[in-house]
Structure 1
């Protein structure tokens, strides 16, 4: 659980990542990719920040997604877009909707462009990457979470949150799935705020690495 992590451990992690950012900036200088994959479109003023697509399995109103979206928006370091199920699809695995018509609705999420979808996390990521919902060609990073409950061992094949990240990876987009261990009668929704404090520095470091071309290259 995030609440059991010592505050000094979190602080140390953040300090290391801040130092890593400074070192990387010196090595890379001010050089920018002339054709970034993060550029927007649709006739609006271009936002040069890297695009992050956020999804989950617990539903668009779940606290894990809400708190993470708020933190990413506050950071100001990415152009956030959200596409998530309209209800809990936690144990949907890598299933897709083929015999029903998907419904999609725009929703307000404190400044992020957001859609809720009647299907699974895989449906959400597939729709987002198809270009049917957003004007960009593809995001720099897909984040799936924060999932309620651990994502490990034999649980992995069944979890919609992991499948959302896997779908992005299969499409050639870097992705991360995040989960938080949940204990009945002990854990509470506010614990997700602590989980965000732990994982946000890692997400921002991943975004910086992707911008610099330091992320692992995907081959199929």
Structure 2
């Protein structure tokens, strides 16, 4: 397939629906090559003169850093890491939040202590971090955790729920990939269009199988200098990955949900359950975002206590009973979308395609970057 229309039309019109056979062929070719390489390795291992150690072989593999936003124990990350290790092509490392930070956006933890603990992953050194996805990527790239200076590729995901349209600004999984891009490292973000009462955990495994050929193509072409520079690819996998229609090159839409604030009663705790006003307020605030970890909630409660004490001194003589306190909970509500173009991310996703959207942080050269990205995606998928 060619993409001669890329200059006139931002995305090639021929990127289409019948990619399953092509990807299957790529998988078969890759498997044959791996079997050939394995046979060669077995022969070399029987040669007494072979001096290459297992450690040297491991360090010769390209380094791939995996992070996410749902937390280090989430099935999307676990299945992805297992598959990358099983491929045997990469030196896989993991640095991910210890709890759910999926709506943290591009936030960082500034002026507060961030704790890091080792985590268990077969075949992949791993750390869990008390901070955000951006903290994880920034810390991993700083050289403070791993011996290498820079990975070949950063993969953020697989996220539970889509990150299309304006949700990209809220998304922690995209923020992790964006931070890598800001630091000069190519990156991919991956999300599964999870739907309650319809999706199941094994869908993440299917999503990994779908994305693996694209990951392999990316690492191969990054090494060759052929991967598009100054952009990240956001990959959105449909609700039923095993029945996908194919891949579709897409552009970011204006899609978003309505932010809906619900008033929460301060007396929602059962009778006999004692909690101070400060504690109640701290916990309510922690529950406003999915990004609140247990440590974060504790910090918020402590901060609230300090603020209340200081304020009570400053307003001496005023009764606390005269102060108005309200509690709210934020929810996302789906709303009808007016955009109808087929090459928009959420439209392709709803139609059963895997939506691949190039993203950039450079507004001045965006068109050239996205054109180069569209050319690469077309070549990689065909």
What TM-score, normalized to structure 2?
A: 0.48
Which of 76, 94, 115 is the equivalent residue of 1:64?
76
| Residue 80 (str. 1) matches residue 92 (str. 2) | yes
- DSSP 3-state at the match of 2:134: helix
Offset of residue 9 of structure 1: 5.1
Distance in 1 between residues matched to 2:180 and 2:165, nearest whole Å: 21
Q: Does 1:214 align with 2:233?
A: no
- The residue that corresponds to 2:118 in the other structure is 106
Q: CA deviation at 1:99?
A: 3.0
Deviation at 1:123, TM superposition (A): 0.1
Q: 1:107: how far off?
A: 1.1
Partner of 2:201 in structure 1? Answer: 189
Shift of 1:215: 1.4
Q: Is the 8 A contact 1:92 1:159 kept in 2?
A: yes
The residue matched to 1:109 in structure 2 has which SS?
coil
Aligned 8 A contact 1:93 1:163 in 2: yes
Contact 2:218 2:227 in 1 (8 A): yes
1:66-145 mapped onto 2 (5 Å cutoff): 66-145=78-157
Contact 1:10 1:198 in 2 (8 A): no
Q: How does 1:15-30 map to 2 (within 5 A)?
A: 15-16=25-26
1:12 corresponds in structure 2 to 22
CA offsets, 1:153-208, max 9 Å, x none? 11110000000000000010000000000111110111101101100110011000
Equivalenced residues, count: 192
TM-score of the superposed pair, with normalisation by structure 1: 0.82
- What 5-or-longer segments of structure 1 have no aligned partner? 1-7, 23-43
SS of aligned partner of 2:120:
strand
Larger Rg over CA atoms: 2
Backbone CA RMSD of aligned residues: 2.2
| In 2: Cα distance, 1:117 partner to 1:128 partner | 10
> Runs of at least 4 residues of structure 1 off by over 4 A?
16-20
SS at structure 1 position matched to 2:163: coil
| Structure 2: gaps (5+ residues) | 1-17, 33-54, 232-361, 363-382
In the alignment, structure 1 residue 147 sits paired with structure 2 residue 175: no
Q: Give me the whole-angstrom Cα distance separating, in 2, the residues matched to 1:189 and 1:215.
A: 32
Given the alignment of the two structures, is residue 167 of structure 1 paired with residue 179 of structure 2, yes or no?
yes
Match of 2:188 in 1: 176
Q: Quote the offset at 1:18 in angstroms.
A: 6.3
Q: By how many angstroms is 1:217 displaced? A: 2.9
| Structure 2 counterpart SS, 1:153 | coil
